[in-house]
Amino acid sequence: MKSYRSTDSFHMVGQAWQIKIMLQQWQKQWGPNITVEELLKKMK
């Protein structure tokens, strides 16, 4: 799986199961109620 990030976008390239695992890891790290938008703001 690959991920690309720029100042205004984020792209994950891979199979669905890989992206699902990545999102689950983010939930464990940042909490289950965080949105992708909020997560990207925190990662800047």
Which single residue is written with the structure tokens 């990545």?
A: 22
At 14 the pLDDT is: 93
Quick one: tokens of 31? 């909490």
The pLDDT of residue 18 is above 80 = yes
At 9 the pLDDT is: 77
Quick one: tokens of 19? 């992206």
More confident site: 15 or 36: 15
- Predicted TM-score of the model (pTM): 0.65
pLDDT band at 44, cuts 50/70/90? low
At 15 the pLDDT is: 95
The pLDDT of residue 10 is above 90 = no
Quick one: tokens of 12? 């994950």
Name residue 13's amino acid.
V
The answer to whether 25 touches 37, Cβ cutoff 8 Å, is no
Name residue 36's amino acid.
V
Beta bridge partners of 5: 10
